[in-house]
Amino acid sequence: MEKIIIGNHIVKAFGEGDERRNVLEGVSVEIFDGEFVAVMGPSGSGKSTLMFALSGIDGVDGGMVVFDGKDLSAVGENELSDIRRTKMGFIFQQPTMLKNLNILDNIILPSIRGNKKNTAEISEKARALMKRVGITEIEARDTTQVSGGQLQRAGICRALMSSPKIIFGDEPTGALNSKSADEIMDIFSEINADGTAIMLVTHDAKVAARTERILFMRDGKIVSELKFPKFNGTDIERRIEEVTAKMLEIGI
């Protein structure tokens, strides 16, 4: 498989003077086209920082991140913004939605900013995505009139609007009940089956068990990994047991 992301000896530090410390300690990692990856570790281990570095949201203090053949540190901010807007999708624990816009308008807003001439076409694509994830009935509702699961589905639609090469998710199921979390993971599995790479940061062993590769972090380093076949829906308990055992083994 083709490598979509190559991170070489990534260093990321925060703070100034005596308070400065490395959150990422020379991390090297590769993400392949169409891969489904989870990142696990205790709070402060560098999980989210790694995701932000690999996606170009944060610059790095050492090493290199190559995305789709481009060194992200060598491109200008405008080009970097275009790469994130057109080739990456982002989903967070709490979707950032504008309260003065309805659900449909929140989904299409980033796409319209990049292409104001085809609003009707963009809206049609958004409605098709909403149908796919089962939220067609909420397009005209305010963000305060929907459930957390529905809001997260809207966030997934927004992330898919540009047909990205990869979706980054930072605890995307963390604020959901178990039923909604399972439904969101079903959607992620379908998206991944269509060929989109996904990288999720999670504390949840059940979420991680549905991916095909899990990176375990401690103290700013990847200390272990676990690989699975693509999830087929039949062996979740065994996979959870393996993830949990690995977590215990490395002290997560």
Give 117's pLDDT tier (boundaries 50, 70, 90): low
Give 116's pLDDT tier (boundaries 50, 70, 90): low
Arithmetic mean of pLDDT, 3-16: 94
List the structure tokens of 6: 């190559």
Reduce the DSSP state of residue 148 to 3 states and report it. Answer: helix
Q: What is the pLDDT of residue 115?
A: 65
Give 118's pLDDT tier (boundaries 50, 70, 90): confident
Arithmetic mean of pLDDT, 143-159: 93
List the structure tokens of 151: 């809001």
Residue 194's φ and ψ, nearest 5 degrees, are: -80, -5
53-76 burial code (b ≥16 CB/10 A, e <16): bbbbbbebeebebbbbeeebeeee
Q: 78-98: per-residue pLDDT in tens?
A: 999 999 999 999 998 888 889
Give 18's pLDDT tier (boundaries 50, 70, 90): confident
Predicted TM-score (pTM) of the model is 0.93
Nearest to 242 by CA among 220, 211, 218: 211
Reduce the DSSP state of residue 96 to 3 states and report it. Answer: coil
How far is Cα 150 from Cα 143, in angstroms, rounded to an integer?
A: 10
- 170: Cβ–Cβ under 8 A, 6 or more apart, which residues? 48, 51, 90, 91, 92, 93, 200, 201
CATH code that applies to domain 3-95+165-250 = 3.40.50.300
Question: 231 near 200, Cβ under 8 Å?
Answer: no
List the structure tokens of 241: 């047991």
**Run of H or E including 205:** helix 205-208
List the structure tokens of 116: 């104001």
**∠ CA 130-35-241 to the nearest 5 degrees?**
95
Q: Where are the beta strands (DSSP E) in 93-196?
A: 166-170
Arithmetic mean of pLDDT, 44-67: 95
Say if residue 250's pLDDT is above 90: no
Reduce the DSSP state of residue 57 to 3 states and report it. Answer: coil
How far is Cα 188 from Cα 185, in angstroms, rounded to an integer?
A: 5
